[in-house]
């Protein structure tokens, strides 16, 4: 009793008590925010087409607010191989199709070199909306890619799960760390375990390789060529795997 009036914190007690109910509400909101997932938006009858339609309304995380549109996966429902990337980029967001920008061009070349037809594989992403920050520079406004956080990956997961459940691929190729960590677990490192087949819940053979955008960003020319060759080799390995 003697010391309390002299403590600076004492002055805050009244205000803290008044704000308590509101702060509790906000904590519950944040927790529920984490719990919300795309499950709320699943169609009754699950097919690629109904999923594609249903995802247009998805607000399971905040990314829909600034993105142009969701970018759903593309390819045949009976595809043997599913390629999983991170999230749509600037071009994908505008066109509504996965891997059609610069990273997509590199992926197309790698697929061609591996002898795989792009229209025979199913191409999708872990997160279906483009996450970016807008930067104004000498070349005008640019939308710079931002890595999706755990909450966004979690919220979007039911779409990927539904795609994989319908397609039941024989092989999944994770392009980059976000896809690999989403399927193999948080500790997965591409640099250490690239190109190895691992059984996952979705298929017998899942393999992780470089993301084409990581290859594009690599400043060292020799290393860039090596990574590109490894991407092709991993795609060949996936395609040659026994049926
Ligand atoms: N990067 C991705 O991970 N996915 C795309 O669709 C495009 C770029």
119-137: pLDDT as tens digits: 999 999 999 999 999 999 8
C-alpha to C-alpha distance for 221 and 206, rounded to whole angstroms: 29
Q: In a mutational test of the pocket of ligand 1, which residue from 211, 217, 231 has the highest number of ligand atoms less than 8 Å from its CB?
A: 211
Q: How far is the CA of 68 from the centre of ligand 1 (A)?
A: 15
Handedness of CA 236, 237, 242, 243 (dihedral sign): negative
Lowest pLDDT segment from 21-30, 33-42, 87-96, 152-161 = 21-30
Q: Nearest-CA neighbor of 88 among 108, 74, 109? A: 74
Which residues 6+ apart lie within 8 Å of 135 measured at CB? Answer: 141, 142, 143, 144
Q: How far is the CA of 12 from the centre of ligand 1 (A)?
A: 49
C-alpha to C-alpha distance for 4 and 59, rounded to whole angstroms: 48
| pLDDT (tens digit per residue) in 20-65 | 777 766 665 555 455 689 999 999 999 999 999 999 999 999 999 9
Which ligand 1 atom is at minimum distance from the Cα of 212? 1
Q: How far is the CA of 16 from the centre of ligand 1 (A)?
A: 46
Q: Is the pLDDT of residue 235 over 80?
A: yes
For the purposes of burial, counting CB atoms within 10 Å of the CB of 218, is it exposed (0-12), middle (13-18) or buried (19 or more)?
Answer: middle
pLDDT score for 25: 60
β strands within 118-190, DSSP E: 122-125, 132-137, 140-145, 171-175
pLDDT bucket at 240, cuts 50 / 70 / 90: very high
Which residues 6+ apart lie within 8 Å of 45 measured at CB? Answer: none
Q: How far is the CA of 138 from the centre of ligand 1 (A)?
A: 26
Confidence (pTM): 0.86
Q: In a mutational test of the pocket of ligand 1, which residue from 67, 85, 132, 174 has the highest number of ligand atoms less than 8 Å from its CB?
A: 85
**Pocket, ligand 1, Cβ cutoff 6 A:** 85-89, 92, 98-99, 101, 103-104, 125, 213
- Are the C-beta atoms of 85 and 97 separated by less than 8 Å? no
Q: Nearest-CA neighbor of 58 among 193, 158, 191? A: 158
């Amino acid at each position: 009793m003697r010391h309390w009036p002299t403590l600076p914190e004492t002055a805050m007690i009244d205000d803290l008590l008044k704000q308590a109910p509101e702060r509790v509400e906000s904590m519950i909101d944040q927790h529920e925010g984490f719990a919300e997932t795309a499950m709320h938006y699943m169609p009754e009858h699950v097919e690629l087409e109904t999923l594609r339609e249903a995802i247009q309304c998805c607000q399971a995380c905040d990314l829909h607010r600034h993105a142009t549109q969701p970018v759903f996966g593309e390819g045949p429902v009976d595809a043997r191989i599913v390629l999983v990337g991170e999230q749509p980029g600037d071009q994908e967001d505008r066109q509504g199709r996965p891997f059609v920008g610069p990273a997509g061009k590199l992926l197309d070349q790698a697929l061609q070199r591996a002898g795989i037809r792009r229209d025979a594989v199913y191409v999708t992403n872990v997160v279906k909306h483009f996450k970016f920050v807008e930067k104004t520079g000498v070349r005008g406004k640019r939308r710079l890619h931002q890595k999706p956080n755990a909450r966004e990956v979690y919220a979007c997961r039911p779409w990927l799960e539904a795609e994989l459940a319908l397609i039941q691929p024989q092989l999944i190729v994770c392009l980059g760390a976000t896809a690999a960590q989403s399927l193999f677990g948080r500790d997965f490192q591409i640099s250490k375990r690239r190109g190895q087949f691992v059984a996952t819940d979705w298929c017998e053979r899942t393999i992780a390789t470089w993301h084409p955008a990581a290859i594009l960003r690599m400043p060292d020319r020799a290393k860039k060529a090596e990574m590109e060759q490894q991407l092709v080799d991993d795609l060949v390995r996936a395609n040659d795997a026994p049926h």
